Amino acid sequence: MTPSHDPARASLSAQRLTLRAGARTLLDAFTHTFYAGEIWCVAGPNGAGKTTLLSALAGLLQPSAGHVELDNVRLADWPPLPLAQRRALMPQSAADAFSASVLDIVMLNRFPHLNGWGWEGEADRDAAHAALDLLGLTAFAARDVLSLSGGERQRVALAAVLCQNAPLLLLDEPLSHLDLHHQIDCLEALAAWTREPRRTVLFSCHDLNLARRFATHALLLDGEGGAYAGPAHDVLTPTLTSRAFGYPLILIRDGEHEALIPAPRARHESLAVHDRPAS
């Protein structure tokens, strides 16, 4: 059976999803639905399970319990080709095994759309050029991918995922290796991309303030099985982020702008003393 693609029900759903790493429970019986038009930031401390969760949502990792549905169909019931046309995963890092032009690297992600002998057509080249253009990489098309810096290669990897033209993007640390200017450029590109019908983005990120600015929703993992999900400004609060990261954060405001910053050391030490169990 090939699942139907009805825009009215386009969604990704976790049903009592449990993820474990050895003896640790990273996520415990988590249920939530991610809808078209939403941009989700997956946040949490190192080792909280962000990469594990994205892999499970992509169907590449079997959860310890529960299951994932895409458009109301279990991921296990999706044939590989329609699934690759419906969702794309950008891993945290990928080594380049051989020399190739940036354009050829980006067009590799057109594989789910190729017919016959698998040769790329004009539409595939147009999609690759459009993805490069969206990320300001048009001048890089003929460059050898092995000559790129880490940040340049990261932007090419994001262009390749966009070129796949899947309505659901699962991006693991897409902003790593990027300076602030290019981080903002990439997030603005993703925001523009998501304005098209049926499109959804989930990306992991360590910068809570960029997440508050660009994400519509946030999923905050505490690394102990718990998760908070909802609108970004309701989840990425001083109370919840302090609890998840184990360090007090405060919210500062400058007119319409807000930012989460670490609390002054004196406040951190007073909280540590206050939280210390009585002897």
Answer yes or no: are the C-beta atoms of 170 and 178 closer than 8 Å. no
Q: Is the confidence at residue 174, as pLDDT, over 70?
A: yes
- Distance between CA atoms of residues 123 and 100, nearest Å: 20
For residue range 10-53, list pLDDT tens digits in order: 699 999 999 999 999 999 999 999 999 999 999 999 999 999 99
- Distance between CA atoms of residues 128 and 33, nearest Å: 30
Continuous segment of H or E residues that includes residue 192: helix 180-194
Give me the pLDDT at residue 7, please: 47
CATH number, position 17:
3.40.50.300
Arithmetic mean of pLDDT over the chain: 91
- Distance between CA atoms of residues 155 and 27, nearest Å: 30
Give me the pLDDT at residue 3, please: 54
Residue 148 lies in a domain: yes
11-21 and 87-90 strand pairing: unpaired
Residue 164 sits in the same domain as residue 275? no
- Distance between CA atoms of residues 211 and 141, nearest Å: 30
Q: Is the confidence at residue 197, as pLDDT, over 60?
A: yes
**Domain of 266, in residue numbers:** 247-279
| DSSP helix, strand, coil percent of the chain (3-state; round to 5) | 40, 25, 35
Answer yes or no: are the C-beta atoms of 240 and 225 closer than 8 Å. no
Residue 159 lies in a domain: yes
For residue range 131-157, list pLDDT tens digits in order: 999 999 999 999 999 999 999 999 999
* Total domains in the fold of the chain: 2
Beta bridge partners of 34: 12
Of the chain, the percentage scoring pLDDT greater than 70 comes to 91
Q: Is the confidence at residue 182, as pLDDT, over 60?
A: yes
Continuous segment of H or E residues that includes residue 73: strand 73-74
Q: Is the confidence at residue 5, as pLDDT, over 60?
A: no
